[in-house]
Amino acid sequence: MAPLASYKADFLRAAIAGNILKFGSFELKSKRISPYFFNAGDFYRADLLEALATAYAHAIIEAHRSGAIQFDIVFGPAYKGIPLATAATIRLGQLDPATYGHTTCYSFDRKEAKDHGEGGNIVGAPLKGKRVLIVDDVITAGTAKREAIAKIEKEGGIVAGIVVALDRMEKLPSPDGDDSKPMPSAIGELRKEYGLPIFAILTLDDIIEGIKGLASEEDIRRTEEYRAKYKATD
């Protein structure tokens, strides 16, 4: 496997140093017991938030320059997506002001529509007729992203793609509870359903490659075993 891009490696080190990426034993919503846990909500310290914003901006710039996504607005679904979209937009303008400094905007949604003042469901740049890039932490079942897509389309926006911090590369639970069956991931299902480009700063493969020398051999072994057991077909 090729070495991680420098921004990915920097992001991974920051996540471990800030205890955002943890190793141990964690019960997920799916009831699976994961040997690692990632919580982007813990990037609340200034230096960690800067590392997060930088990683998102580099991932977006990389996808944009490759031609995979074209966008006008960075959209953060409430609530975790709000600081992510805000920070990423600022960092985009700092890293490449000629491309993003005066044209790229951000927006986010309200959980409940405001019935006074300016009203509405959206705060920030209007979405109508604009290409909208969704930025969020992870995709677990895909429910929150489907809701965000529906809100954007209702406002007249065009969803251009999705960027998340982590792709666990993990298959969805089988309807009959048999985890030995091949199944797609939540990201794979969204790609298939909407035909959208979806990118992640880090994948589980990146984590396993990047934590060598940063995590114990036992943590690496358990994470590799978890990947082998639950890796998705897509």
- Give residue-wise pLDDT tens across range 62-115: 999 999 999 999 999 998 999 999 999 999 999 999 999 999 999 999 876 655
Entry pTM: 0.92
* Bond preceding residue 79 cis, omega within 30 of 0: yes
Q: Given this model, what pLDDT does residue 160 score?
A: 97
CB atoms closer than 10 angstroms to residue 230: 20
Region 30-57 average pLDDT = 94
Q: At the topology level of CATH, where does 6-230 sit?
A: Rossmann fold (3.40.50)
Q: Given this model, what pLDDT does residue 225 score?
A: 97
Residue 119 has pLDDT above 80, yes or no: no
Residue 39 has pLDDT above 60, yes or no: yes
140 vs 156, residue with greater confidence: 156
Give the 3-state secondary structure of residue 24: strand
Residue 231 has pLDDT above 60, yes or no: yes
Q: 190-216: string of b/e by CB count within 10 Å (b at 16+)?
A: bbeebebebbbbbbbebbbbbbeebbe
Nearest to 7 by CA among 227, 163, 232: 163
Nearest to 201 by CA among 97, 110, 91: 91
Q: Which two tokens stand for residue 61?
A: 């710039």
- pLDDT tens per residue across span 7-32: 999 999 999 999 999 999 999 888 89
Give the 3-state secondary structure of residue 178: coil
Residue 168 has pLDDT above 90, yes or no: yes
Q: Given this model, what pLDDT does residue 144 score?
A: 87
Catalytic residue list: 114, 116
119 vs 174, residue with greater confidence: 174
List, as one string, the DSSP characters of 63-131. HHHTTS---SEEEE-TTTHHHHHHHHHHHHHHH-IIIIITT-EEEEEEEEEE-STT-EEEEES--TT-E
Region 39-52 average pLDDT = 93
The position carrying tokens 């609340």 is: 44
Q: Given this model, what pLDDT does residue 1 score?
A: 62
* Sign of the alpha-carbon dihedral angle for 114, 115, 117, 119: positive
Q: Where are the domains of the chain?
A: 6-230
Percent of the chain clearing pLDDT 70 (strictly above): 96
